[in-house]
């Protein structure tokens, strides 16, 4: 094996997310909204990327494509070397379950389940044994600082605590990628700061994180900031 190919292999392996000339149009009556207009982007393993830009510039659209929730009108999206832009609903669902953790602005915890059960839910779907589900869910809750809240229902938790449960749930199946769309959007500055430091800790423990946010603090904590405008990346500089 030549040295050149070896380096290239390492490079390919390091890139986790790879988008090439991605367009996403939404039909709007007779018109079409060009939400993404040729986005090309690589995200390396272990990176912590914040996507920022004015409202309506296509941040959520981009995150949804990377999260295999949505499909591009044209262009390719690869995650871990696997094309994900043409997957059937069934393939996409199962891919998301095992490879992607989502954190939403509104935590979307199941109201009738306890914190522990909420965290165990994706593991149950993936078919892990009950005991393993319980143990790992407890570990994850401990990681996000909620060991004492295992039996609590979402309604018995504060907003910040609910978001931390949601983050623990996103990590349940050891996803390659953690995606968050305005994770601090519903929280006050103080609880928002807790989430920000949690993301930093996660990233230093090896998680690859992509956040979309208007929150300067959260964006500032990322290693790399990507600026978007009108469906294009205008600046993808590495964060100092």
Ligand X SMILES: Nc1ncnc2c1ncn2[C@@H]1O[C@H](COP(=O)(O)OP(=O)(O)OP(=O)(O)O)[C@@H](O)[C@H]1O
Enumerate binding residues for ligand X (CB under 6 A).
26, 28, 33, 35, 55-61
8 Å CB contact between 169 and 157? no
Binding site for Mg ion (CB under 5 A): 60
Q: Where are the beta strands (DSSP E) in 53-147?
A: 74-79, 82-83, 100-103
72 binding partner (options ligand X, Mg ion, other proteins, none; Cβ < 5 to 8 Å by kind): none
180: Cα separation from own chain's centroid: 4
Residue among 43 and 120 whose Cβ is closer to ligand X: 43
Give, as ranges, the residues between 163 and 222 that touch other proteins (CB under 8 A): 169-170, 173
Q: How far is the CB of 124 from ligand X (least distance, A)?
A: 31
Residue among 19 and 92 whose Cβ is closer to other proteins: 92
110 binding partner (options ligand X, Mg ion, other proteins, none; Cβ < 5 to 8 Å by kind): other proteins
Residue among 27 and 240 whose Cβ is closer to other proteins: 27
Q: Which stretch binds other proteins (CB under 8 A): 5-13, 86-94, 144-152, 216-224?
A: 86-94
Q: Report d(CA 141, CA 127) in Å as an integer.
A: 20
**Contact call for residue 100 and other proteins (CB under 8 A):** yes
Which tokens in the block code for residue 106?
């509104």
Q: Is 154 helix (H, G, I), strand (E, B) or coil?
A: helix
Judged on CB neighbours under 10 Å (0-12, 13-18, 19+), 73 is: middle
8 Å CB contact between 76 and 83? yes
Q: Which helix (H) or strand (E) holds 15?
A: strand 15-28
Residue 238 DSSP symbol? B
Residue 174 DSSP symbol? -
Helices (H), 153-188: 159-170
141: left (phi over 0), alpha (psi -120 to 50) or beta: alpha
Residue among 103 and 221 whose Cβ is closer to other proteins: 103
**Contact call for residue 149 and other proteins (CB under 8 A):** no
> Which position among 87, 97, 176, 193 is part of the footprint of other proteins (CB under 8 A)?
97
Q: How far is the CB of 134 from Mg ion (least distance, A)?
A: 35
**Contact call for residue 121 and other proteins (CB under 8 A):** yes
**Contact call for residue 130 and other proteins (CB under 8 A):** no
Interacting residue ranges for other proteins, rule: CB under 8 A: 60, 64, 67, 69-70, 89-90, 93-98, 100, 102, 104, 106, 108, 110-111, 121-122, 125, 169-170, 173
């Amino acid at each position: 094996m030549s040295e050149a190919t070896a380096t290239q292999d390492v490079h390919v392996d390091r890139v986790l997310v790879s988008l090439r000339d991605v367009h996403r149009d939404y039909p709007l009556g007779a018109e079409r909204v060009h939400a993404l207009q040729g986005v090309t982007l690589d995200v390396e393993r272990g990176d912590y990327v914040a996507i920022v830009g004015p409202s309506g510039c296509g941040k959520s659209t981009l995150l949804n494509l990377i999260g295999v929730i949505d499909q591009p009108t044209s262009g390719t999206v690869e995650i871990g070397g696997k094309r994900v832009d043409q997957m059937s609903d069934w393939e996409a669902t199962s891919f998301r379950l095992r490879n992607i953790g989502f954190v939403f602005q509104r935590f979307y915890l199941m109201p009738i389940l306890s914190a522990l059960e909420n965290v165990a839910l994706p593991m149950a779907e993936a078919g892990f044994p009950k005991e393993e589900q319980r143990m790992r869910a407890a570990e994850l809750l401990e990681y996000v600082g909620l060991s004492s809240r295992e039996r609590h229902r979402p309604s018995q938790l504060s907003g910040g605590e609910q978001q931390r449960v949601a983050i623990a749930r996103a990590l349940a199946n050891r996803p390659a990628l953690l995606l968050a769309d305005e994770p601090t959007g519903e929280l006050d500055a103080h609880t928002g700061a807790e989430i920000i430091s949690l993301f930093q800790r996660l990233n230093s423990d090896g998680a690859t994180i992509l956040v979309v946010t208007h929150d300067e603090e959260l964006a500032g904590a990322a290693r790399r900031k990507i600026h978007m405008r009108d469906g294009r990346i205008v600046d993808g500089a590495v964060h100092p």
